[in-house]
Amino acid sequence: MAVQPERCVLKQDMKYDREQFDRAIWAVVTSIPSGRVMSYGAVASAAGYPRYSRMVSKAMTRSPRKLPWHRVIRSDSTLAFAVAGEAYKKQSALLRKEGVKVVEGKVTATNHAVGMDLDQLLWGPATDE
DNA sequence: AAACTGACTGATC
DNA sequence: AGATCAGCCAGTT
């Protein structure tokens, strides 16, 4: 099905301002609770920038503060770094330390609800209770 | 300025 | 389930 010609809910003629964008992204990432994860796309949308999933990582890299970057994963629940790479291993370790189950580079459950369906695994301000 | 590059995604096969 | 693909959009060559 052809989902989304209508570009979700947000500003499609908004002007991209990096400063502002970064702040919004940092705020969302910071709000992800320990033991929960969120996809790049979900972070972007929650920040008010649907379709900007690819920019999320850039914004996080630019952050002067330490963000819980390890809680951001792909929408298919896999980790975004190269398998076996340093970052990949670090992320898995950090997540597991928070009670998140990571199997073969894939988050199978968070400590919020072990064994839930993939859809419900991703935490977001809009979908969380 | 044009081409190439990703810590991405949803659809399709 | 796993691989491919076109679409995505600013950043980097």
Q: What is the pLDDT of residues A4-54, one digit of tens each?
A: 333 334 455 567 899 999 999 999 999 999 999 999 999 999 999 999 999
Q: Pairing relation of β-strands A38-39 and A106-109?
A: unpaired
- Torsions phi, psi for A46 (to 5 deg): -60, -30
CA A41 to chain centre: 7
Residue nearest to nucleotide B6 (CA to C1'): A54
Q: Which nucleotide is nearest to A40 (CA to C1')?
A: B8
Q: What does the pLDDT read at residue A122?
A: 61
pTM for the structure as a whole? 0.84
Q: Which nucleotide is nearest to A57 (CA to C1')?
A: B7
The integer distance in angstroms from the CA atom of A75 to the C1' atom of C7 is: 16
